[in-house]
Amino acid sequence: MADTNRTWRLGIDVGGTNTDAVIIDGDLQLVAATKSPTTEDVMSGIESAMHEVLMQVGSEAAANIGFAMLGTTHCTNAIVERKRLNKVAALRIGAPATTAVSCMADWPQELKDAMRVGDFLVHGGNEFDGREISPLSEDELRDVARTVREEGYESVALTSVFSPVSDAHERRAAEVLAAELGDEFPITLSSEIGSLGFLERENASILNAALHGVAHTTADGFEAALAAEGLSDVAVYLGQNDGTLMSVDYAKRYPIFTIACGPTNSIRGASFLTHEKDAVVVDIGGTTTDVGVLAHGFPRESMIAVEIGDVRTNFRMPDLVSVGLGGGSIVRQAADGSVSVGPDSVGYKVTREARCFGGDVLTATDIVVARGQAAGVGDPALVADLDPGLVDAAYAEIKRIIEDAVDAMKTSAGDVTVILVGGGSILAPDELEGAGKVLRPENFGVANAVGSAIAQVSGQVAKVFSLSEISREDAIAASKERACEEAIDAGADPDTVEVVEVEDIPMAYLGDALCIRVKAVGNLRVAQP
Backbone angles phi, psi at 398, to 5 degrees: -60, -45
Query: What local confidence, expressed as pLDDT, does residue 528 receive?
Result: 44
Query: What local confidence, expressed as pLDDT, does residue 273 receive?
Result: 92
**Alpha carbon separation from 356 to 35, 79, 178, 367, 372 (Å, rounded):** 19, 35, 59, 9, 12
DSSP 452-483: HHH--EEEEEEEEEETTTS-HHHHHHHHHHHH
Domain-wise residue ranges, the chain: 86-210, 456-522
Is the bond into 506 cis (omega within 30 degrees of 0)? no
**Displacement of CA 264 from its chain's centroid (Å):** 6
DSSP 328-379: TEEEEE-TTS-EEEEEEE-GGGHHHHBGGGT-SB-BHHHHHHHTT-STTSS-
**Alpha carbon separation from 451 to 121, 208, 294, 472, 521 (Å, rounded):** 42, 24, 13, 36, 15
Q: Which residues in the chain show pLDDT less than 70? A: 1-5, 508-511, 526-529
E strand spans, 130-178: 155-160
Pairing type for strands 235-239 and 245-247 reads antiparallel
Query: What local confidence, expressed as pLDDT, does residue 175 receive?
Result: 95
pTM, full prediction:
0.81
Buried b / exposed e over 275-302, threshold 16 CB at 10 Å, is ebeebbbbbbbbbbbbbbbbbebbbbbe
Backbone angles phi, psi at 54, to 5 degrees: -70, -35
**CA–CA gap between residue 94 and residue 173 (Å, rounded):** 12
Pairing type for strands 289-295 and 513-522 reads unpaired
Residue 62, number of CB atoms within 10 A of its CB: 20
For domain 86-210, which architecture applies? 3-Layer(aba) Sandwich (3.40)
The SS3 call for residue 36 is strand
Q: For 414-467, what is each residue's pLDDT tens digit?
A: 889 999 998 888 899 998 888 889 999 988 888 888 988 888 888 888 888 888
Alpha-carbon torsion (401, 404, 410, 413), positive or negative: positive
**CA–CA gap between residue 364 and residue 224 (Å, rounded):** 38
Q: Is 21 exposed, middle or buried (0-12, 13-18, 19+ CB in 10 A)?
A: buried
**CA–CA gap between residue 221 and residue 214 (Å, rounded):** 10
Q: For 496-514, what is each residue's pLDDT tens digit?
A: 999 988 888 787 666 677 8
Task: Name the residue type at position 480.
Answer: K
